[in-house]
Structure 1
């Protein structure tokens, strides 16, 4: 089992969710987060004063899946989250080993609980 963590632009969430649904992924956790990487933020003008926005709004997706689904999930997220021409700030995908899963309601464990 694996857990995939993806950081994407907020306006791409519906597209990514749709792409994951199409390949049979049924559970996703989405969290609104802020961060920066190579994008480094930007400057904005507010009431005549210019200020720097260092942390940009992002969405963090967490998806627990069976190990054999990893490639298809990565491809679905990559295609749906990529901007036209591929720009800095499109996001990142992290894959981590998942040791155990327990469904609280039934007590099922392992891949059955996914």
Structure 2
């Protein structure tokens, strides 16, 4: 099993969700996150005061899939989340040693 984790811009969540649903991914977990990459935050002016936001709001999405689906999932997320601007996010894939479904006690792919 593999865990595909994507850090994306919040307004792209619906596009990513629809793209994953279209390829047969039925579940995902979404976390609110804050961070920065090369852009190192941004500054805004409220009234006469400049406010520097070093950590930009992002969403972190986790999807657990079989190894056969990893390429399709990564491709779907990339296409759906891309704006072409700095800060589009990152995707990383990690191995998952064990998976258990709490309700039934199933393990492995059957636990998805």
With the length of structure 1 as denominator, give the TM-score of the two structures: 0.96
Check if 1:53 corresponds to 2:53.
Answer: yes
Q: CA offsets per residue over residues 68-114 of structure 1, 9 Å max, x none? A: 0000000000000000xx11100000100000110000000001101
Q: Give unpaired runs (5+ residues) of structure 1.
A: none
- Secondary structure of residue in 2 paired with 1:77: helix
Paired residues for 1:21-36 under 5 Å: 21-36=21-36
Q: CA deviation at 1:46?
A: 1.8
Distance in 1 (alpha carbons) for counterparts of 2:25 and 2:39: 30
Q: Quote the residue 1:39 is aligned against.
A: 39
Distance in 2 (alpha carbons) for counterparts of 1:81 and 1:66: 22
Q: CA offsets per residue over residues 4-32 of structure 1, 9 Å max, x none? A: 11000000000000000000001100011
Distance in 1 (alpha carbons) for counterparts of 2:38 and 2:86: 7
Q: Quote the residue 1:75 is aligned against.
A: 75
Q: CA deviation at 1:48?
A: 1.5
Q: CA deviation at 1:47?
A: 3.0
Deviation above 3 Å: which 4+ runs of structure 1? none
